[in-house]
Amino acid sequence: MADTQVPRAEPDHPRQGRFSRTWSIAKISWHVIKDARSLVVVPILSAIACAVLLAALSIPLLPAAGSSDESSYQGLAIILGVIALFGTSVITIFFSAAVVSGAYQYFSGEQPTLGSSLGGAVRRFPRILGWALVTTVVSAILQFIEQKLGFIGDLIAGILGVAWRVATFLVVPVLVIEDAGPIKSLKRSGHLLRQTWGENIIGQVGFGLIGLVLLLPAILVGVVAAATNVAAIGIAGIAVAVVWAVIVISVLSAMSKVFQTALYLYAVNGSAPAEFAGTDMAHAFRPRLRRRSATV
């Protein structure tokens, strides 16, 4: 895969501030998922699949919980915990890949469906399994550091976790669009980050802050419902809060993957997708080296 010099055109509009830039990108991502609504369904399926898996894995622990043999219970809990960690990683990455696949279809001028988005992830399933294994190992290591080193461990794991999320931000688009293996995708993601070092963190933090604001009503309703003495009102309130939280998280997850796909396309093509042409996408990544690797 050869490197070629690709000039990056500067935007012909005034440079946006960080907040307005994030808000503009969020609005465009919202319009994309409004136009391709099947992309919102995918994160909901992901949440359902994770819930089913965790519920199924908790069943074997119920009879063991009352056992006097504590060592066997702990051993079973560890085994099921590892399975849960790997299983949820597979599910999360699979459905993330489906959204990226659908977003890529949309940016290519097609109208993605639920079937076409999931089909894109199915075709990359062996790659997804490999990347899920990598993320599971990294997650286990970070958890081990947290548990064994106390406060220092929390600090170290937190810093390493942030660095890992930044370095792997473009792994799923690389895996889906370039059909690269997990290690190659990791290296490629890191290369794109170094090549166009910039403010992708702003996008991640921005979506997180938007999510926090949108989740506040659900949190307040849940707290009030839990504090009420009327059982029917409490149950109804908690149900509303849960449904609202699932909807918000699913929508923001889809928007984030749309943004992620757009950033990948900008990084490798030198220009943002047409839908993002009116934003200061050129500063979502701040170029350091004006070159890209030719796509296959």
Task: Answer whether 19's CB lies under 8 Å from 27's CB.
Answer: no
Count of alpha carbons within 13 angstroms of residue 218, beta-carbon side = 16
Mean pLDDT, residues 215-241: 81
Residue 275 amino acid letter: E
pLDDT band at 261 (very low <50, low <70, confident <90, very high): very high
Output the pLDDT for position 1.
41
Position 291 scores a pLDDT of 38
Whether residue 220 lies inside any domain: the answer is yes
pLDDT higher than threshold 50 for residue 285: no
Q: What is the pLDDT averaged over residues 236-242?
A: 84
Asked if residue 230 is part of any domain, the answer here is yes
In this predicted structure, which of 12-16, 40-44, 46-50, 114-118 has the lowest mean pLDDT? Answer: 12-16
Is 7 within 8 Å of 295 (Cβ atoms)? no
Most confident of the ranges 67-81, 243-257, 282-296: 243-257
What pLDDT is stored for residue 75 in this prediction?
Answer: 78
- Rounded CA-CA distance 103/140 in Å is 31
Higher pLDDT residue, 178 or 146? 178
- Residue 87 in contact with residue 102, Cβ under 8 Å? no
In a domain, 237, yes or no: yes
Q: What integer pLDDT is reported at residue 74 of this predicted model? A: 78
Residue 8 lies inside a defined structural domain of this protein: no
The answer as to whether 144 is a domain residue is: yes
Highest mean pLDDT among 79-88, 95-104, 221-230: 95-104
CA distance 258 to 265: 11
pLDDT at 170 over 80: yes
pLDDT bucket at 91, cuts 50 / 70 / 90: very high
- C-alpha to C-alpha distances, 33 to 76, 197, 254, nearest whole angstrom: 42, 27, 7
The answer to whether residue 3 sits within a structural domain is: no
CA dist 100 and 33 (Å) reads: 12
In degrees, rounded to 5, the angle at the alpha carbon of residue 121 between the alpha carbons of residues 120 and 126 is 120
What digits encode the pLDDT tens for the residues 192-226? 877 655 556 566 666 777 778 888 888 888 888 77
Q: What's the pLDDT at 69?
A: 60
Indicate whether 54 belongs to any domain: yes
Mean pLDDT of 84-94: 94
Number of domains in the chain: 1
Q: What is the pLDDT of residue 64?
A: 61
Q: Quote the domain boundaries for residue 108.
A: 16-288
β partners of residue 5:
291
At residue 195, the pLDDT reads: 63
**Residue of higher predicted confidence among 126 and 279:** 126
Question: How many CA atoms lie less than 13 Å away from 209 in the CB half-sphere?
Answer: 10
pLDDT, tens only, 114-138: 999 999 999 999 999 999 999 999 9
Confidence band (pLDDT; 50, 70, 90) for 290?
Answer: very low
pLDDT score, position 11: 45
How many residues can be counted in the chain?
Answer: 296
Q: What predicted TM-score, i.e. pTM, was given to this entire model?
A: 0.80
Q: Give domain status of residue 179, yes or no.
A: yes
pLDDT score recorded for residue 217 = 84
Mean pLDDT of the chain: 80
CA gap 158, 163 in Å, rounded: 9
With beta carbons less than 8 A apart as the criterion, state whether 175 and 131 touch: yes
Choose between 149 and 208: higher pLDDT.
Answer: 149
